[in-house]
Amino acid sequence: MSDKTNKPCRRVAVLQQRIVKAQKELKQIQDECPHPKETLDKKFGGNTDNYDPHSDSYWVTLHCGVCDRGWVVYSDDPEYRRYR
Ligand SMILES: [Zn+2]
């Protein structure tokens, strides 16, 4: 066996580089996306049956129809008001 056995072949290395590059590009597009309100898919969630009501929490799961990013905003985040 040659010492190449533990190294990915050239083709794999090229593909992995492309994936890294594509992920960077995707991240840049998502970072720059204004996530227009009208394209946002919102799913509201809540956890309100706690014995101690102070433990109750609300959140919204958002998904942007433009850049395909998904994220969650909790009600204690000032940003939450924007999505109600
Ligand atoms: Zn977006």
Q: How many residues does the chain have?
A: 84
The alpha carbon of 56 and the centre of ligand 1 are apart by a number of angstroms equal to: 29
- Reference 66, options 24, 23, 28, 34; nearest CA is 34
Mean pLDDT of 8-26: 95
Mean pLDDT of 7-11: 88
CA distances (Å), origin 70, targets 8, 17, 22: 32, 25, 18
Residue percentage of the chain with pLDDT more than 90: 74
Residue percentage of the chain with pLDDT more than 70: 94
Confidence of residue 2 (pLDDT cuts 50, 70, 90): low
The alpha carbon of 50 and the centre of ligand 1 are apart by a number of angstroms equal to: 34
The CA distance from 19 to 49, in Å, is 44
- 3 state SS of 41: strand
H or E element: which one contains 63? Answer: strand 57-64
The alpha carbon of 62 and the centre of ligand 1 are apart by a number of angstroms equal to: 10
Mean pLDDT of 46-51: 86
The alpha carbon of 39 and the centre of ligand 1 are apart by a number of angstroms equal to: 8
Mean pLDDT of 48-70: 91
pLDDT at 23: 98
